Amino acid sequence: MQYTLILKPSLSARRKITAKKKRLEKLYGYTGSLSNKGVHITMAYLRNSRFLDVNPIITLCGKTAPFTYEMGEVGYFEKVRKGKISYIVFLNVIPSPEMYEFHEGLIKALGDNTTEAGKFIPHITLIRKNVNENNLNEIVKFCENLKIDCKFLSTYLILGKRSSEYSRWHFEHIDFHKI
């Protein structure tokens, strides 16, 4: 079973990001998911496990008040796979202190089910395929005008599940504490 824990920005922001990703795909080939549904912020990377106890996650969400975050600048990081260097270009997310606090609680609630290592860098991936050093600066420059100037309020966490038998993800919302 595969799991993912994500947040999503507003539909209008997802549409703007998806439009930019579609233009990138025309220029550079496959970029990753091109659906509005695919635009998200990953809150935790999970191990493949046969069973995830969601009760600690539900409890945490029930104690968490809705929190805000904003979109920031375009950035990138290097990825090395099989000795080959590629780059992932992303839209930085500027988290509130409450978002960091929620992330820390989520990692504790997940315990051994998380593969978290290192600092939490919330972001929305713009392109993760076919990015080499030759076209990196060109892609970053192309994405720089992608500004989304507003705060987003997160009122729920999305838990995605997919078994090895099925190719489709099943998503459910876990609401945060109602104030």
Mean pLDDT is lowest, of 32-36, 55-59, 88-92, for 32-36
CB-CB contact of 28 with 87 (8 Å): no
- pTM of structure: 0.85
Look at 17-21, 30-34, 160-164 and tell me which has the smallest mean pLDDT: 30-34
User: What HEC string does 107-132 produce?
Assistant: HHHHHHHECCCCCCCCEEEEECCCCC
pLDDT for 34 beyond 60: no
Please state, in angstroms and rounded to a whole number, the distance separating the CA atoms of residues 38 and 173.
15
In angstroms, how far is CA 125 from the centroid of its own chain? Answer: 7
| pLDDT at residue 179, as a whole number | 62
- CATH at residue 121: 3.90.1140.10
Residue 170, phi then psi, degrees to nearest 5: -115, 125
Q: Give pLDDT tens digits for 82-117.
A: 888 878 888 899 999 999 999 999 988 988 777 766
Question: Which of 39, 47, 31 is closest to 14 using CA atoms?
Answer: 39
Residue 36 has pLDDT above 60, yes or no: no
Give the strand pairing for 2-7 and 156-162. antiparallel
Structure tokens at 27: 């220029």
For the chain, percent of residues with pLDDT exceeding 70: 89
Instruction: Print the domain residue range for 109.
Output: 2-175
Q: CA angle, 55 as apex, 54 and 60 as ends, to 5°?
A: 100
Collect all residues with Cβ–Cβ distance below 8 Å to 173 and sequence separation of at least 6: 156, 157, 158, 159
Q: Where are the alpha helices (DSSP H) in 45-114?
A: 55-63, 97-110
Check residue 46 and report its DSSP letter.
B
In the predicted model, what is the mean pLDDT of residues 114-121?
73
> Average pLDDT of the chain?
83
Taking alpha carbons only, the member of 153, 174, 127 closest to residue 3 is 174
Per-residue pLDDT, 47: 65
What pLDDT, on the 0 to 100 scale, is given for residue 116?
A: 65
Total number of domains in the chain? 1
